[in-house]
Amino acid sequence: MSWFSKNYEKVALAGAIVMALGLAVLGWTKSDGVNEDFAYVPKGAGNNDTAVSGADLIPKALQSMKLDRTLNRAKVGDRPVDLFTGIPLFVPSSNPDKSLDPLTGADIHPPIPNTWWLENRLDPGFADSPKRDPDEDGFTNMEEFLAKTDPTNSKSFPALIAKLMYVRDESLAWVLRPGYGDGGKFPFSYEDNKRQQNKNPPGEMIAPNDVFFTNGPMAKRFKLLGSEVRKEMSPKTHVEMERTIVRIEDQRPNKKGVVYELPSPILEIRKNDFLNYDRTAVFSLEAIGLNGNEFKVEENTKFAVPPNAPTKDFLLKKVDPESVTVEYTDAQGDLKSLKINKGSLSRKND
């Protein structure tokens, strides 16, 4: 047997190794040709390759972050418009087939001009838009327009006196009764509808210029000025007769100087004919979050609006069960008189 026959497997193995080495050398020498033909860039070209996937996008991302992306409201000239629908149009109820441009068309809610709604960024598209109160200060859009105040700022509102409500009258009814006099001196008794009573001690007579009562209800409130005898016609008998009239001056601060003329004596059966009243009005301010908070003011007394304001600019001139009259000086220095009916904000300037 020949050597080739005996060593066939070894020869075949050596030939395969040589062929493999040849193919490897051929592939390495042709790699540049592949790059040229197919623009191929082999990955992992060596130990010094530091390429990161997507690294080329980093400069673009950094540049994008520097861009001004503020969303500004679009305008047509100086006129702001909606970014999605353009210039808003309205459909008047009187002519629903025709759209209305609020800037160029007729006023939607006279006397408020359409520009007022646009300038204050308010929606005039509701039937009750003039009655709405977007800043919740107690004043409607119509009231703010008439007063030239800001309807979107709760700290800008018309004069608060317009929202003063007269809730009710809390008056004290009372009667002061002189007794039989002696030498110009008289005893007195007092009672009211709260069942308070007072009178001079037994035997004590009040002289002219004396202030009474010493203590108790209405202490030191009344001053006897004097008395005189007058001839009066009796309404029952139609006969002229003499009657003693006592003059008493009120010392209460809000009634200082008021003089009452009372006959002496006043009998029990006639006491209701000589009733007097200490009138007090109960108010509430229907604005700036004070709705329903009541406060009281005596007749002929100055008060503040709101009640905790530092200055008392208003005078409660008159109170009766159905209305009150308030006096104040306006911004022009003119004295104003305001009538407020019970249970409402209605008012009348005299």
Whether the per-residue pLDDT at 28 is higher than 50: the answer is no
> CA-CA distances (angstroms) from residue 217 to 190, 192, 252, 330?
8, 10, 12, 39
pLDDT tens digits for 47-98?
555 566 777 777 777 777 777 766 665 666 666 666 555 556 666 666 767 7
pLDDT tens-digit map of 270-307: 999 999 999 999 999 999 999 989 999 999 999 999 99
User: What is the 3-state secondary structure of 218-262?
Assistant: CCCCEEEEEEEEEEEECCCCCCEEEEEEEEEEECCHHHCCCEEEE
User: pLDDT, tens digit, for every residue of 249-280?
Assistant: 999 999 999 999 999 999 899 999 999 999 99
C-alpha 290 chain-centroid distance: 8
Residue in 144, 278, 320 with CA at minimum distance from that of residue 340: 320
Cβ(304)–Cβ(314) under 8 Å?
yes
The whole-angstrom separation of Cα 37 and Cα 48 is 25
Report the alpha-carbon distance of residue 208 to residue 143 in Å, rounded.
Answer: 56
Determine the topology of domain 163-169+279-349 in CATH. SH3 type barrels. (2.30.30)
Domain ranges in the chain are 82-158, 163-169+279-349, 173-275
pTM across the whole model: 0.67
61 three-class SS: helix
223-247 pLDDT, tens per residue?
Answer: 999 999 998 877 777 788 889 999 9
How many CB atoms neighbour CB 160 within 10 A?
Answer: 20
As separate numbers, helices (DSSP H) first and strands (DSSP E) second, the chain gives: 6, 18
pLDDT digits (tens, 9 = 90+) for 193-209: 999 999 999 989 999 99
Helix (H) or strand (E) holding 175: strand 172-178
